[in-house]
Each structure stands twice: as structure tokens, then as C-alpha cells.
Chain A
Amino acid sequence: MSGLLRVCTAGSVDDGKSTLIGRLLHDSRSVYEDQIKSVEVASKNRTAGRIDFSLFTDGLKAEREQGITIDVAYRYFATARRKFILADTPGHEQYTRNMATGASTADLAILLVDARHGVRVQSKRHARIAQLLGITNFVLAINKMDLVGFDRGVFDTICDDFDELLHGARLHAIPLSALHGDNVITLSERTPWFEGPSLLEYLETVEVDRDVTAKPFRFPVQLVLRPTHNFRGYAGQIVSGTIRRGDTVTVLPSGRTTRVARISAWDGDLEVAYAPMSITLVLEHELDVSRGDVVASGEVEVGQRFEAEIVWMDERPLDPARVYMLKHTTRTVSAEVDHGLVLNQIGTATVTTARPLIFDRYTDNRGTGSFILIDPATNFTAGAGMIVNPVHQRVAASARPSAAERLARLARAAATEAEATEAVRRALEEILN
């Protein structure tokens, strides 16, 4: 089990998300007495009972004044079993982009539903965004069960609706009252028909599949480090896979192959490194590698055109006539999109980039399958994209070295300089013919 679970919450406005999180933090003893005191003082002008738990998470003055959550808030708590990072995302439709933000790094989503209302438009929307962003584990938190008399029939109907909606996902449904604490930390006597586990126990024990270390090696170069004339290292964070000293790797988009000479780290060189470690690679050959290139093994897509799902997050609509900046791994290029979208709209479009990207399908690899679109006029992060399919040729990275690489190999294999010259001359003639 991983020591860190990243969770995001989703649901309609007034379903009680912030209250649920406040309750989790409070009952798991993750908020301190002085924070409870300041919330008790602030609760006096409001109607949510002695302690208004949403005040723990609604951090901005405007949010407390309006009684709604505007912006994604991150919360941290730990139990003896696990550490949690919780993204509390707003339910208001105009802030749907924040839902996508919270979901982008989450392993699991808690979908909150008001037992009195069941599935609503906004719940469907959030479920769709969470699935689109690659979440396969869901907790269906059916809240305000106290207001429907803890009726099992109501619970079962909502579960069936969501089973259909989230086809293929792993779903654990829990009848809750966030306000009163039923089934949040411990099982409630008011739902004897519910076998459990409670919300906290489920979060502590759920196994999420995010084992990216078994996937093909992907290492986007962030920086070239050259502190001295005899050290040239490529700094970056391993997106997926495992690398050992001596492994053969391909540098893309050039397609040249070489081997890993050193895996450099502060504590000394490593024999092996794996995702998501931040390391510095030293390669055996002096290749022209720069920021945005990818050191990889296995098959990878290299191309300038692909189909993607895009979530639009800017009030200025996506305009197919304009050129945007696209950031993908550590590479930023200009890009065009063939379909328009408006704020909060999600759609499939074909993206064409000015320079090639080294990518995977999002469903195969979140890190190399995702990108953001930046409006060059405002610098706003206007769109979030997930690559569905390449629209171009497929390149087998390690199988097809470039022409220059083949020539260099011939030259290196030769015994004398004259032989090398002759071998390269013949190979060039072959290529040109």
C-alpha cells in the first residue's frame, strides 16, 4: 500500500462537501483546538449548528461571506495507516475547471450526492470529468441520509443510477450524514443494513492502481546540468518506469540510442531509479540533448498531430483560428486546435503542434498523455488536454535509429580513420540512392 493517497471531492453545490471534509479533519483529530475555536466564533452568524465544518476549508473571505467554495483547497491529514492529500473542489458550475484541477492528480474521487436529490446534472458532469482525468476509483458518498430517515431504498436507487453512470469504474457507496458524523469515521447504528467499511476506513485501506514503475521508461529532460567541463547531466523527474545503470535508452525526438552511464543523485550515484524520482542521468555518448527531449525505452509516439479530449477553462472561448501555447511534459510549443469550445465545455478535437511531441495515450500514461493550453494574449491556463490517439505515423523508438546515428555507428565500428571514411561514404551513397 502506498503511504500517500491523493483524493479529490466532487458534487453539486450544497451537497455538503466542505462539511464532510471538515468532519473528516475534525473527527480524525487533524484540526487543532485554536482552529476549532476560530471556526466556532465565525459560526455564530450562520445556521449550520455549533461548528460549521465548512469554515475549516473555505479559506477565502469571499467564500465565507457568500457561504460557497470558490476555489480548490488542499487539505492534509494522516492516520496511523496512511497520509492523505485531499483536494476540495467547488460544486458551482462556473468553477468546474477547479474540479478538473483537483481530479488531475487524484488517485480516487469522492462523489458526494444529496440523498434527497439523487443524481443531478452536476453530479453527472463531475463524474464524467473525474473519469476523463483517469480516475477509476470512486467513493459514492450519499449524504444527508438523516433527512430521508436512513432509508435503504433511497440508498439503493442512487447506487444503481451511479453504477450505470460510472460503468467500468470501481465504486464503493456509503450512506452518510456529514453533519452528524454517521459512517464517516465509525459505522453508524442508524444504518444497521450497511456493512461498511466507513469512509475513513475505506480510504485507509483501498488499493489504488498507480504503479507507474512497471510502465515503459519515460524521462522528460528538464534541465541540462553542466557544472564542470567533465560533467554533463540531464535533470528530470521519471514519469514512468524503472532505469538501471547500463540500460540502453533512446533520446527523442532525435531517435539516437545510447546507454545510461550514471544515475547521479545527492546521496551518491544510484544503481537503479524509478518513477516518480527526480534524478540526473549521465549518458554514455555526448548527444545533443536539451530541455523538452525525452529519454525513453520501448515504443513511444513522436508526432505533431493527435486527437485529444479537451476541457476548456477560460471565459474566452477556444478559437480554432488562433494559435495557443501548448505545454506537454517539459516541452512548450505553439499549437492549433480544429474545434471551438466554450467555458466548462469538454470536447474531442484534433491538435496540431509546430514541433513534434513525444507522447503516449493518456489512458496508458497520465504524465506523457496530458497537456495544457495557454492563451498567449493573457497567459491564462485556458485548456487541459488528454491525448486519445495519434493522427500520424508510429515510430518504434529503439528499433529505428536515425540516419546520422547509423552513420556514427559505422564510423565508430571501423578500425582506422580511412576505413571509417570509406564506410560512411558507402552508407551515404546507399541512403541517397
Chain B
Amino acid sequence: MPRLDHLRELEAESIHIIREVVAEFERPVMLYSIGKDSSVLLRLAQKAFHPGPIPFPLLHVDTTYKFREMIEFRNWYAAEIGAHLIVHTNDEAIADGTQPFLVGTQRCCGLLKTKSLLDALEAGGFDAAFGGARRDEERSRAKERIFSLRDAKGQWDPKNQRPELWNLLNGRIRPGESIRVFPLSNWTEIDVWQYIHVEKIPVVPLYFAKEREVVVRGNALIMLEQPFVPLLPGERPQMVKCRMRSLGCSPCTGAVRSEADTVPKIIEELVAARHSERQLRVIDHDQDGSMELKKREGYF
């Protein structure tokens, strides 16, 4: 008898999850972060409703500090696949001069990501929000359910989660409550890249190695393409062949030295990698249990 390989098994499971949400919720939305996981999520959504269109909008929470190439890619790709894209920014906080070097990363994330996200979800009246988070990324994410309940304030109570058995997802909520949905829960970073490879899914060019102007800060390479990344005393820009392993805001996301300029080379590099994907995400390390705290408050 035939048997699905592990990528196709993960794909089938994720499509099942996406369809359950559309069947059981009134106003779903898909968080689109422009990264590789989002790209995979989008392809799965296309497959789930083929030959019809994706029956929900995409939401990008734009902190205005994203890499230029990310925004270009976002605009091109949303148009390319005919998706309905909503872009939301916390304009008030931006007008107040919120940026990581002035207010600190915790407050910056709180205002530009978490608050902005919660405002956008409320404004749209969305009762289910898909996210591309995976359980292998970070230890508090390893505890997250596929259907993860949020209270009326968008907050997560990790100690009181609903049991999730088989593939029977409980989508019942009270008015004001919502769920976050993680169809990629069981995927790993390598699964994502293998899928991008076999499906030929387009991704932001920042993932591929090339010579870029950076400064070396600690063990991270910070790209200088944007005017709001200030040089610290003694820092000198230099050209380094590098790539991004995880995409976030440009001041807070470091590049890694790499020669991987194709998807197969990235996979090869990951197999040999000795550092985790989110190591250079400053916001994961700004306090003990920082991801869990951000998640409790409503971050993805």
C-alpha cells in the first residue's frame, strides 16, 4: 500500500486544520509576516480551497521597521496570488517616536506588534487568526495548542488550556473570545525549507546569502540598509556574505554568515547548524521566559 512521506503527511494535517477553521468560525484572518513560514501557510491555504480563492484576508502588522525587501515582496506576492491584504500599523505609537533604541525592545514590541495586532483583530471583528508559529521554534511555543484560546483581551492562559485529542479541534468560543490557530505546529524549520523546495514557493531574497553591508554587534550581523539603525561608537560597516535565518524588524534581527544562496544549500546548512533559528532575535532574550510573557499578553 502507498504511504505518504512525512512532508505530505504534515501538509494534509495542516490543510485539515485550515478547513476546520473556515467551517467553524465566522471571520477568520491569516497573519502574514512575510517570512518563510507565512509563505508556506499561504500555499497550504491556496491548496485547501482550490479551485476557489482563499476565503479570508491576510493581515500584516507593519511596525514600519521591517526590511525594505520584505515590504516589496509582500506587495508583489499578495497581488500575484490575488489575496486580500490588510496592513495595520500603530500610527499613534510611531508618531510618538517609538523605536527600539529609544524605548527598549520590550516596550517597542508591546506597542508596535502586540497592541497593534490586538487593535487590528478587534477592528476587523476577527474571531480566528492563523499564525505560522511552530512548536520547535521556542520552548513556550512547544506547549501551544493548535486551536489556542484567547480571552476578550487577546491574552493566553497557558496553565488552563483545553486538551486537544486526535484531530478533533474544539472551536467553541464565547462572544469576545477568539482563537489563534497554528497549522504549522508540527513542522520544523527543515520541513519548511524542504516544502519550499519541492513546492517551489517564492520567499524574500533576504533568506539567500549575498554580500551585504553590516556591522558586527556581539555575535549578530546587523544590516545597515535602513537609516534608523544607528552606529554605536567604534563600529565600522563592512561587507559580509550573509543571510537572514528568521525575518523580523531590521534593528532587532541579525544576519548569519552564510554561503547558502539556494534553497538546497540552505537545507544543507541547517542540517549542519549548531545554533537555533531564533538565536539572533533580540526580543527572545530580553528577559527570562520572554516569549511566554509576550504570548500571554497577546503576541503570536
CA distance A236 to B170 in the complex (A): 17
CA distance A177 to B50 in the complex (A): 51
- Closest A residue to B18 by CB, please name it: A278
Pick out which of these stretches binds chain A: B95-103, B125-133, B159-167, B236-244. Answer: B159-167
B1 surroundings in chain A (CB, below 8 A): 211, 213-214, 242, 274
- Closest A residue to B24 by CB, please name it: A332
Cβ-defined partner of B190 (8 Å) among A62, A78, A280: A78
- Closest B residue to A329 by CB, please name it: B168
- Closest A residue to B134 by CB, please name it: A76
Instruction: Establish whether residues A213 and B3, one from each chain, have CB atoms under 8 Å apart when the complex forms.
Output: yes
Those of B81-119 within 8 Å (CB) of chain A? none
Bitwise, A197-238 to B at CB < 8 A (1) or not (0) is: 000000000000001011000000011011110010101110
Bitwise, B1-39 to A at CB < 8 A (1) or not (0) is: 111111011111101100110110000000000000000
- Closest A residue to B5 by CB, please name it: A3
Instruction: Establish whether residues B163 and A98, one from each chain, have CB atoms under 8 Å apart when the complex forms.
Output: yes
Give the interface size class of chain A.
Answer: 35 or more
Instruction: Establish whether residues B166 and A370, one from each chain, have CB atoms under 8 Å apart when the complex forms.
Output: yes
Instruction: Establish whether residues B50 and A2, one from each chain, have CB atoms under 8 Å apart when the complex forms.
Output: no
Cβ-defined partner of A85 (8 Å) among B158, B163, B186, B289: B186
Instruction: Establish whether residues B50 and A264, one from each chain, have CB atoms under 8 Å apart when the complex forms.
Output: yes
Cβ-defined partner of B47 (8 Å) among A35, A61, A265: A265
- Closest B residue to A213 by CB, please name it: B1
Instruction: Establish whether residues A278 and B165, one from each chain, have CB atoms under 8 Å apart when the complex forms.
Output: no
Q: Is B150 an interface residue (CB 8 A)?
A: no
- Tell me whether chain B's interface is mostly helix, strand or loop, or mixed: loop
Instruction: Establish whether residues B170 and A327, one from each chain, have CB atoms under 8 Å apart when the complex forms.
Output: yes
- Tell me whether chain A's interface is mostly helix, strand or loop, or mixed: mixed
Those of B57-78 within 8 Å (CB) of chain A? none
CA distance A3 to B279 in the complex (A): 29
CA distance A313 to B165 in the complex (A): 11
Cβ-defined partner of B292 (8 Å) among A59, A72, A328: A59
Instruction: Establish whether residues B51 and A264, one from each chain, have CB atoms under 8 Å apart when the complex forms.
Output: yes
Closest Cβ of chain A to B268, distance in Å, is 14
Instruction: Establish whether residues A74 and B186, one from each chain, have CB atoms under 8 Å apart when the complex forms.
Output: yes
Pick out which of these stretches binds chain B: A135-143, A162-170, A247-255, A379-387. Answer: A379-387
Residue ranges of B at the interface with A (Cβ–Cβ < 8 Å): 1-6, 8-13, 15-16, 19-20, 22-23, 46-53, 135-136, 138-143, 158-159, 161-168, 170, 172-174, 185-186, 188, 190, 273-276, 279, 288-289, 292
Residue ranges of A at the interface with B (Cβ–Cβ < 8 Å): 2-4, 31-35, 56-62, 64, 70-76, 78, 83, 85, 97-98, 100-101, 104-105, 211, 213-214, 222-223, 225-228, 231, 233, 235-237, 242, 264-266, 274, 276-278, 280, 291, 313, 325, 327-328, 330, 366-367, 370-372, 374, 376, 379-381, 384
Given contacts A291-B23, A371-B168, A372-B165, 13 further A-B contacts (CB under 8 A): A3-B5, A59-B138, A59-B139, A61-B289, A72-B143, A73-B139, A74-B135, A225-B49, A237-B167, A265-B50, A278-B48, A327-B168, A372-B168
